[in-house]
Amino acid sequence: MINTEEKQKIFGKNISKYRKSKGYTQNQLAEKLDISREHLAKIETAKRGLSINLLYKISEILSVPEKDFFNFD
């Protein structure tokens, strides 16, 4: 069973994976989200959480259903 810390890391990696698959740099996506690149980097490395509203924005911009970020397999 995957613990919470591992899930957070996978969640961040999933955001990074989808961001890269859509051709966005951290700077580009952060600008669209109106956050700093550093903030996005911390989300992607599980050093910082995010609000549900920010998750919705990421999902919308990347055209990825929210549930796909929670794929821990």
**Domain spans, the chain:** 4-64
Closest CA to 4 of 72, 64, 62: 72
Q: In which element (H, E) is residue 6 found?
A: helix 4-21
Closest CA to 54 of 18, 30, 28, 26: 30
- pTM for this prediction: 0.93
Residue 23 region, left (φ>0) first, then alpha (ψ -120 to 50), else beta?
left
pLDDT in tens, 39-68: 999 999 999 999 999 999 999 999 999 999
pLDDT in tens, 7-37: 999 999 999 999 999 999 999 999 999 999 9
| pLDDT at residue 38 is higher than 90 | yes
Question: What pLDDT does residue 54 have?
Answer: 98
4-64 is classed in which CATH architecture? Orthogonal Bundle (1.10)
